[in-house]
Amino acid sequence: ADQTANRPDSVQAMEQAILRRADLALVTSEPLLAAKREFQANTHLVPNGVDFAAFAVARTQPQQLAVFEHAPHPRLGFVGAINEKVDLSLLSALAAADRSWQIVLVGPVTLRYHLDDLAALRSQPNVHLIGALPVAQVPHAIAACDVCLMPYKINAWTHHISPLKLYEYLAIGRPIVSTNIPAVVTQADLAPLVAVAHDAAEMIAEVERALSRAHDHAAAAARREFAAQQTWDVRVDQIAQLISAALKSKEMST
C-alpha cells in the first residue's frame, strides 16, 4: 500500500475528494458538520442513538452484576474504552476527593501512551477497572451506577466525537457529569440534562451536587424522555429521508 496513505495530509485530501464526489454526507457531531460542509453542501447531522427499549428493561428489571460486588455505593461510572480520549488524571482527582466514592470503569484498556497516568489511577484504592462486559450487560452496568461520568480530555479527537454512552446514560436516567466537550455543550437541549465541568474542581463539585440530587425523579424522567426521542429507529428514518431526498434531487438534475 502507498505509505503516504497513512499521512494525515494525504488522508485529509482523499477525504475531501470523496466528499466533493458524493451526493450526500452524514456526520455525527456539530463540529464535523461545520468542517465537512465546506466540501459537500449536502452534509447533514445524524448523531448517535440508543436502543432505548433495552435500557428501559435494565432500569425496571436490574440485574446484580458480580463484577460490582467490591464497589459499594456511591458509584461513579464510566462505560467505554480506556484510551487516549479519557482524562485519567481527572479520574484520579475524583477518586482522591472522597474515598467513599467508588470509581467504576467498565470497558477495555486500549491505552498506548500516558501509562504512568494509568498506573496512578490503578493505585487508587477506590478505583475499579472492570474490563469489557458483554453488550447485554452494559445497560445493567450503567443502571448500577449513581452518577455517570464523561471524563474526556479536550483535544482534537474529542472535539469531533458523538459519544454513544451519552444517549445510553440518558436512557437510564442517572445524573451525568461531563467535561466541556462540544458534543455536550453545542446541544442546547442537553443543558438541563447534563452537568458540565471545566476542570477537576468543578467536576468534583458537580459530582457532589449530582449525588445530593440522586432522588430527583423529575430530572431522571426528563433525561429518559430525551433519550426516548434518540432511538436507532428515529435515526434510520432520518437517514432514509435524507437518502430519498438526495436520490430525488439527482433524478431531477439528470
CA end-to-end span of the chain: 37
Cα–Cα distance measured from residue 163 to residue 111, given in angstroms and rounded to the nearest whole number = 18
> What does each of the 254 residues of the chain score in pLDDT, given as a tens digit?
444 445 788 888 999 999 999 999 999 999 999 999 999 999 999 999 999 999 999 999 989 999 999 999 999 999 999 999 999 999 999 999 999 999 999 999 999 888 999 999 999 999 999 999 999 999 999 999 999 999 999 998 899 999 999 999 999 999 999 999 999 998 899 999 999 999 999 999 999 999 999 889 999 999 999 999 999 999 999 999 999 999 998 888 76
Q: Which of 248, 246, 250, 188 is nearest to 43 (CA)?
A: 246
The cell for 41 is 453542501
Q: Which of 189, 111, 106, 179 is nearest to 145 (CA)?
A: 106
pTM for the full predicted model: 0.90
Is-contact 76 151, C-beta < 8 A? no
